[in-house]
Amino acid sequence: MNTAVHKFGGSSLSSAARYHAVANIIISHCQAGDSVVVSAAGKTTNTLVKLWLCYQQNDSQGTLDVIKLLKNHQVELISELLIDELQETALQKLNDELELIATLAQQQELVEAQLLAHGEVWSARLLAQYLTQLEHKANAFDARDLLLLSGGQLQHEKNQKSCQVLNSEQFNVVTGFIAKNESGETVTLGRNGSDYSATLIARYCNAQSVTIWTDTQGVYSTDPRKVKQAIKYAKVCREQANLLARLGNPVLHAKTLTPLKDTNIKLVVRSSFDSHSACTEIVKKGNAKQKHFLTTLDNHDLVKIEQLIEGEVGELSQLIQHTLHHFELDSETYLLIPAAYTHIVINHLSGRANLVESNLFGLGIVCPNDIAHQLTQQAAKILQKYNINIRFAFSQKDMPGNEYGLVLCEQAFDTDLLTILHEELISDSQELAVVVAGLGNVGATFITQLEKQLVRLNYLLPVKLVGLVRSENMLFCSDGIKIHNWLEQWQTSAIAYDNKSLIAALEQLDYEHKVVIDITASEDFSLLYPDFAAQDCHLISANKYAGTAHTTWYNALKEKLYERNLKWRYNTSVGAGLPINFALNDLQYSGDKIERLLGVFSGTLSWLCCEYDGSVPFSELLLKAKDMGYTEPDPREDLSGRDVQRKLLILARELGLTLDLDDISLTPMMPADLAQGDWLSFLEKRDKLDAFMSDKLIQAKKEDLVLRYVAELNLQQDKLVAKVALSAVKKDEPLAGLKAGDNIFVINSLWYQDNALVIQGPGAGQEVTAAGIHSDLYWLTHSLIK
Ligand SMILES: Nc1ncnc2c1ncn2[C@@H]1O[C@H](COP(=O)(O)OP(=O)(O)O)[C@@H](O)[C@H]1O
Ligand SMILES: N[C@@H](CC(=O)OP(=O)(O)O)C(=O)O
């Protein structure tokens, strides 16, 4: 049977609400037979360690206080999650256990590992009971019945047998972090060790995959809680993940990868807070680019050790329950030890260890071949510039293909400094993958222009065209599509398109940044934007649908993009390449307040209104425009004004207004009943349209006015005016002086009150629209290197 192992860390189980979320993930992502490995809820292990310290210091009041703290937390979880008999039994059991802990403490009989194990026992039991209460078959297992160590070595054969008790008919909720030794005593696998428990159980059960569910969406270039610009990596190779862990990074425990050696068990890190977001897959060597990482170490001591014995680092880590980093430099061996445990290590090594430096803070740099030295020097320079005293800086080859650098300093660096280091050391390593959807006139022109534009973009950041998408086919080439013969590649290598395959192809892209450029006019395609965001793709749209979708959907999309630090540009969805979005944003950023926005936003209706002078019936002009390709296939789509209404909504939202399409009054440029029926039936009734337009023109001429199809947003009055309609305008107004086919935007603001700011020019056309999309792509690329 294909089983999977899912591990939920303390951060995923910190409250009743989180247990509930975890249960939902299990119900939706796991099958019966899967194992769910859990850590202690929230910071329970830290609290248990505190209890152990009080006990050791004979602080009986402190011991009782911490027991009370543990009790309150567990009682709260149980009371919020379980009901009736299940709750009663669980509370009783907890009470008995806490009483026993208190008694053992009083009798000086507490055992450290046995005490620490309670955290995992409580969370496994509670989660299994909660799943049972939700009517799913689940059972809690104590890993001490599954994982045996003898002489510090895991007993693989025995453990494999023991793991056969894991049942294929239910969810098996297993305690992480703990195991037992040959004397039946509890042993722990080291702080953060539940990741290791999960991969061990996966190996023993022959599972297909291990998912480490945590509170970040994967493995990032640095701690995303500290650096907003941290880059989430789609793939990280095992060697680099291991090195990162050995430098003390908490996202994966250092031993996690050991059980996966020589197996094809898939390992992913994903968020239990956002279970649909793209994750990080930890892959075998050669299946991912080498990445750049920064990791920090807090308050460590540097100790020189004589003649390190094989396996001793492991033993010492076990002794202090923390991963220890060791390295050799100038034929000396050094150990980096969390300062609180240095005395234990030095005592244990009785005379073979000397303290070299104490209370150091460190920056670890994990990077591709041959640049660790350069990056370490660069980091040291930056730190010195910020008055950080450096005690030690070196770089090392870890194993073939892996390098790292370590800078040890006297002071801790705050998140601002880490952000600067990230910007200076990591940014250069990034690449942007471009996927273009929609290969019509504008799409094809965009790609032709891209060949030249890449030279400019690559100056900022390496940019590669990796995907082309049409409604029925798609072409993905993760190393980059050769632009000069993309059509040939398309013809030989494009595969059938469907939404699922597109998302899977985006997920596979091993790039720091990805962008989907939507040059389709498809509403269905725009509905995939949240999925693109979940795959960490930036968005550039010429398509207007997402920008004018219902507020709830639109806001949820914006929120999702914001959370992931993703950008969305849609410069060409209004006015093709005209910089109207830039202008509105720029004015607002510089403190201006827009009071009125007026304009002609449709090239087709602009042409029709400018050309129509009554000398020929309006419908004749309309058919001419259709023949010249100026209109939609059914020109009534243009006359309906819906497209203009959408554009006005996009601009209104750019001004921060919360509007929906229905909030913009729309009067089409034709009698309402002409919208019904097919094109031929419309042609039969074209006289009606001619009479409608002729009336409007006669009336306008009488008042010495001209006709324009106008979109208006007026924020001056108490009540917002947002409307789209045919209007008669004065001949000396900017709207009147419009060139046939052009768009015009007239902006009145605090600074442009009487004399409006006017942007005018072609609002359609493949060259200018494609160039407008390039403007967005350039902006995005530039924003990524900042
Ligand atoms: N490069 C990184 N990528 C992701 N998370 C990181 C990284 N560096 C540090 N972290 C930290 O690791 C934490 C997850 O580890 P941990 O707290 O042990 O989770 P859990 O309780 O799920 O085991 C994150 O909250 C994050 O702050
Ligand atoms: N509860 C243990 C083991 C563990 O792995 O926890 P977490 O998955 O929360 O890092 C600890 O705090 O060390």
Query: What is the full DSSP assignment across 669-734?
Result: SS-GGGGSS-HHHHHHTHHHHHHHHHHHHHHHHHTTEEEEEEEEEE-SSSS-EEEEEEEEEETTST
630: pLDDT strictly greater than 90 = no
Nearest protein CA to atom 13 of ligand 1, as residue: 251
The pLDDT-based confidence of 178 (bands split at 50, 70, 90) is very high
718: pLDDT strictly greater than 90 = no
Shortest-distance atom of ligand 2 to CA 197: 5
**Residues within a 6 A CB radius of ligand 1:** 9-12, 39, 192, 214-216, 219-220, 222-225, 249-251, 293, 295
Nearest protein CA to atom 10 of ligand 2, as residue: 192
What is the Cα–Cα distance from 586 to 594, expressed in whole angstroms? 11
The per-residue pLDDT for range 42-80, each reduced to its tens digit, is 999 999 999 999 999 999 999 999 999 999 999 999 999
Query: Is residue 141 within 8 Å of residue 125, measured between CB atoms?
Result: no
Please, what CATH class does the domain formed by 580-762 belong to? Answer: alpha beta
Burial bucket for residue 511 (CB in 10 Å: 0-12, 13-18, 19+):
buried
Catalytic residue among 647, 701, 730, 739: 647
Q: State the pLDDT at residue 467.
A: 98
Q: CATH classification of 4-215, choosing from 3.40.1160.10, 2.40.40.20, 3.40.50.800, 3.40.1190.20? A: 3.40.1160.10
Q: State the pLDDT at residue 428.
A: 73
Please give the full DSSP string across 475-523, using - where no structure is assigned.
EE-TT---GGGHHHHHHHH-EE--HHHHHHHHHH---SEEEEEE----H
Of the listed ligands, the closest to the CA of 11 is 1
400: pLDDT strictly greater than 70 = no
Predicted complex ipTM: 0.98
Shortest-distance atom of ligand 1 to CA 225: 27
Strand partners, 432: 463, 513
Angle of helix 766-785 versus helix 441-460 axis, rounded to 10: 30
Pocket test for ligand 2, best of 14, 116, 192 (most atoms within 8 A of CB): 192
Q: Which two tokens stand for residue 37?
A: 């490995």
Pocket test for ligand 2, best of 191, 197, 216, 323 (most atoms within 8 A of CB): 191
The per-residue pLDDT for range 489-544, each reduced to its tens digit, is 999 999 999 999 999 999 999 999 999 999 999 999 999 999 999 999 999 999 99
Rounded to the nearest whole angstrom, what is the distance from the C-alpha of residue 145 to the centroid of ligand 2?
19
* HEC secondary structure over 359-375: EEEEEEEEECCCCHHHH
Nearest protein CA to atom 3 of ligand 2, as residue: 192
Of the listed ligands, the closest to the CA of 37 is 2
Please give the full DSSP string across 253-284, using - where no structure is assigned.
-TTTTGGGTT---EEEEEESSSTTS--EEEE-
Task: Please work out, in degrees rounded to the nearest 5, the angle formed at the alpha carbon of residue 492 by the alpha carbons of 491 and 497.
Answer: 70
Nearest protein CA to atom 13 of ligand 2, as residue: 191
Rounded to the nearest whole angstrom, what is the distance from the C-alpha of residue 703 to the centroid of ligand 1?
71
Q: Tell me the Ramachandran region of residue 741: left when phi exceeds 0, alpha when psi lies from -120 to 50, beta otherwise.
A: left
Q: State the pLDDT at residue 408.
A: 95
Q: Which two tokens stand for residue 219?
A: 């493995």
The pLDDT-based confidence of 330 (bands split at 50, 70, 90) is confident
Please, what CATH class does the domain formed by 432-573+771-785 belong to? Answer: alpha beta
Angle of helix 618-627 versus helix 686-702 axis, rounded to 10: 110
Amino acid 120 reads E
Q: Three-state DSSP class for 663? A: helix
Q: Which two tokens stand for residue 693?
A: 């337009």
Rounded to the nearest whole angstrom, what is the distance from the C-alpha of residue 36 to the centroid of ligand 2?
14
Q: Which two tokens stand for residue 252?
A: 């994966």
The maximal CA–CA distance of the chain, rounded, in angstroms, is 108
Shortest-distance atom of ligand 2 to CA 10: 9
Nearest protein CA to atom 9 of ligand 2, as residue: 10
Instruction: Name which of 669, 624, 630, 666 is nearest 648 in CA terms.
Output: 666
Instruction: Name which of 670, 685, 690, 668 is nearest 612 in CA terms.
Output: 690
Strand partners, 747: 597, 757
Query: Is residue 437 within 8 Å of residue 525, measured between CB atoms?
Result: yes
What is the Cα–Cα distance from 29 to 275, expressed in whole angstroms? 9
Burial bucket for residue 505 (CB in 10 Å: 0-12, 13-18, 19+):
buried
What is the Cα–Cα distance from 176 to 192, expressed in whole angstroms? 9
Q: Is 647 a catalytic residue?
A: yes
What is the Cα–Cα distance from 95 to 101, expressed in whole angstroms? 10
Rounded to the nearest whole angstrom, what is the distance from the C-alpha of residue 573 to the centroid of ligand 2?
49
Q: State the pLDDT at residue 700.
A: 97
The topology under which CATH files domain 293-429 is Alpha-Beta Plaits (3.30.70)
The answer, yes or no, to whether any atom of ligand 2 lies below 6 A from the CB of 10, is yes
Nearest protein CA to atom 15 of ligand 1, as residue: 251
Mean pLDDT for 405-409 is 95
Q: Which two tokens stand for residue 500?
A: 């699922």
What is the Cα–Cα distance from 561 to 565, expressed in whole angstroms? 6
Nearest protein CA to atom 14 of ligand 1, as residue: 251
1: pLDDT strictly greater than 70 = no
Shortest-distance atom of ligand 2 to CA 253: 5
707: pLDDT strictly greater than 90 = yes
Rounded to the nearest whole angstrom, what is the distance from the C-alpha of residue 317 to the centroid of ligand 2?
15
Instruction: Name which of 710, 695, 708 is nearest 609 in CA terms.
Output: 708
Q: State the pLDDT at residue 180.
A: 97
Nearest protein CA to atom 8 of ligand 1, as residue: 223
Query: Is residue 335 within 8 Å of residue 367, measured between CB atoms?
Result: no
Q: Which two tokens stand for residue 139?
A: 């059972």
Q: Which two tokens stand for residue 679?
A: 């094109």
Rounded to the nearest whole angstrom, what is the distance from the C-alpha of residue 225 to the centroid of ligand 1?
8
Of the listed ligands, the closest to the CA of 199 is 2
594: pLDDT strictly greater than 90 = yes
What is the Cα–Cα distance from 146 to 160, expressed in whole angstroms? 8
Rounded to the nearest whole angstrom, what is the distance from the C-alpha of residue 248 to the centroid of ligand 2?
13
Q: State the pLDDT at residue 233.
A: 94
Q: State the pLDDT at residue 612.
A: 97
The answer, yes or no, to whether any atom of ligand 2 lies below 6 A from the CB of 293, is no
Q: State the pLDDT at residue 584.
A: 95
Q: For the chain, which residues make up each domain, given as ranges?
A: 4-215, 293-429, 432-573+771-785, 580-762
Burial bucket for residue 713 (CB in 10 Å: 0-12, 13-18, 19+):
buried
Q: State the pLDDT at residue 754.
A: 86
Residue 508: count of CB within 10 angstroms of its CB: 14
Strand order in the sheet with 148-150: 153-154, 148-150, 178-181, 186-188
Instruction: Name which of 589, 621, 588, 627 is nearest 606 in CA terms.
Output: 621
Please give the helix or strand (H or E) that residue 455 lies within, else none.
helix 441-460
Shortest-distance atom of ligand 2 to CA 8: 8
**Mean pLDDT for the chain?**
94
Antiparallel, parallel or unpaired: β 594-600 and 537-541: unpaired
Of the listed ligands, the closest to the CA of 279 is 1
The answer, yes or no, to whether any atom of ligand 2 lies below 6 A from the CB of 40, is yes
Shortest-distance atom of ligand 1 to CA 232: 3
Instruction: Name which of 572, 580, 639 is nearest 604 in CA terms.
Output: 639
Instruction: Name which of 462, 456, 447 is nearest 512 in CA terms.
Output: 462
Shortest-distance atom of ligand 1 to CA 194: 23
